[in-house]
Structure 1
Amino acid sequence: MLVKNILAEKGSEVVTIAPDSSLAEAVSLLADKRIGAVVVTKGEGRIAGILSERDIVRMLGAEGPSMLQKPLSSAMTSKVKVCHEDNTINQVMEIMTAGRFRHLPVERDGKLVGIISIGDVVKKRIEEVEHEAQEIRNYIATA
């Protein structure tokens, strides 16, 4: 299974925010959309960073509620790991596990084209395993 198959099923809509937004705006966006991360983009869909719930909690713990007035660039990850549509689920799981993050932007020609979460990946992997098990049961039943 490839990333492009996941995007074909779930869609390629990505919630984004501008780099000059405040952390308060980002928190509000995450809450309104009920998502765990937002991709920070600059002109033409170029990825400038990613801000996750973990980033916000970490900064809130260190600085308190006053951190909400700061620009989101003060908390976002600017060296964003990305994947591509031709990556496999196993490759994406390795990237996510190694980096210990749950959201991975999908990039094509340097531009954001989607995002996948660990939930998307696990769901597809479970479907693959269930399909393989069914094929084995069918093989045994007809042998």
Structure 2
Amino acid sequence: MSPRSLYRFVSIAEAITWSLLIVGMLLKYVVQAGEWGVQIGGFLHGLVFIAYGMTAVFIGVNQHWKARLIALACLTAIIPFATIPFDQALERRGALGGGWRSTRTSDPRDHTRLSALLRWMLARPVLLASIMGIALVSIMATLLTIGPPGGAS
């Protein structure tokens, strides 16, 4: 899976989970169907929201994005469905082109510790997936322990 296809997959998944959360909220507050729609949609959205942020940072480092662009990518997940047009804008700019940077090049940006760590992780895909999975579950578990945004309703 290329950086482009991974980013696209997660940005679409993030938009889909926004839809699930909104439908859950409509079921709860308009139809009075109870909490279940928000609980399921909210859980899935929270999980994919975090995964999108992690993916944006990882791909941003791979693609040599400036920190401001990585932050903007992460912020688009806050606005419903904004990840899709942001993905399209990145595509138009050529910011998603190319493959994984698994080897050091003459580009000075490939001579940083962060780039070395990226190459090291890319050379160990099972370890990379495990670390990302553990981070995702840990962040989600912490947030579930803290409670829902705005408190319980």
- Specify the TM-score bucket, using the shorter chain as the normaliser: under 0.3
Q: Normalising to structure 2: TM-score of the pair?
A: 0.23
Q: Which has the higher helix share?
A: 2
Q: Normalising to structure 1: TM-score of the pair?
A: 0.25
